[in-house]
A = this chain, B = another copy of it.
Amino acid sequence: MASVEHSPLTRKLSAFVALSEAELTVLERLHQRRRSFVAGRDMVHQGQTARAAYILSAGWVCSYKLQPDGTRQIVDFQVPGDFLGLRSVLLHTSDHSFEPIVDIEAAEVLTSDLLEAFAQTPRLATAILWAASRDEAMVVEHLVGIGRRDADARMAHFLLELGSRLALVGMGSKDGFECPLTQYHLADTLGLSAVHVNRTLRQLREHGLVTFRDGHVTFHDYVGLAELAEFDPAYLDQTGPLLK
């Protein structure tokens, strides 16, 4: 048991590499500039130049792209412990919007803070870049899901992946997790209509696999669900570069 309260990011990275005292200190110091954002109002708008990155410490955010015809596609979610706009700030571009799904708490990270931290603790830099690479792998897996899975498998896979991510920061388990998303969020994420999302959720529920209701996801049959989704957590679990 740690006697200190660690940030979700610290928790996440610690699951994959043992961080030294010095590294922990640098990591916590990145959380100095605390910010709050209210649900529903975009933090960063498509096309806008990013000024800073954020480390999400509480609440959920989604990043999405709007189409000319008004439909939107959610590309990814950020949950506590995730970086937000990391690439944007390193490369001065932002090609999609960020919207807080609930009221959130985040730490603002300036480019200079980040570069300084990287210079001081190369292992920490590696760990953070690894986390970023993991996020990209999830976007790719998301693409595969939309392209090659039917609605049921898509939904199942998404919920399982989300569960795994949350479990890393102690916010979920194989039993389920709290989830503030609406069925419209799911629709925009999975490339389905809201109506069909509802049908799909009913099916999964009636098959005794998973329940999505009242802001809570409950896994009734984790193994069965993973089978349906052909969920292979390999792309999430790789301890990869850190141990090399």
Contacts and interface: CB of A to CB of B under 8 A. Distances in A.
Interface of A: 47, 65, 67-69, 71-73, 75, 87, 90-93, 95-96, 129-130, 133, 136-137, 139-144, 146-149, 190-191, 230, 232, 234-235, 238, 240-241, 244
Nearest to A244: B92
B144 A75 contact: yes
B241 A91 contact: yes
Nearest to A96: B140
B133 A136 contact: no
Given A92-B244, A93-B240, A140 B75 contact: yes
A143 B148 contact: no
| Listed residue (A67, A230, A244) with the most chain B CB atoms within 10 angstroms of its CB | A67
Contacts of A133: 87, 91, 93
A236 to B, nearest CB: 10
A67 B129 CA distance: 27
24 contacts: A65-B141, A67-B148, A67-B149, A73-B143, A73-B144, A73-B148, A75-B143, A87-B133, A90-B129, A91-B130, A91-B133, A91-B241, A92-B240, A92-B241, A93-B133, A93-B238, A93-B241, A95-B137, A96-B140, A136-B136, A139-B139, A139-B143, A143-B143, A148-B191
Nearest to A189: B147
A240 B91 contact: yes
Nearest to A149: B67
A238 B88 CA distance: 13
Contacts of A240: 91-93
Contacts of A141: 65
* Leading 6 A-B pairs by shortest Cβ distance: A147-B191, A92-B241, A73-B144, A143-B143, A73-B147, A68-B230
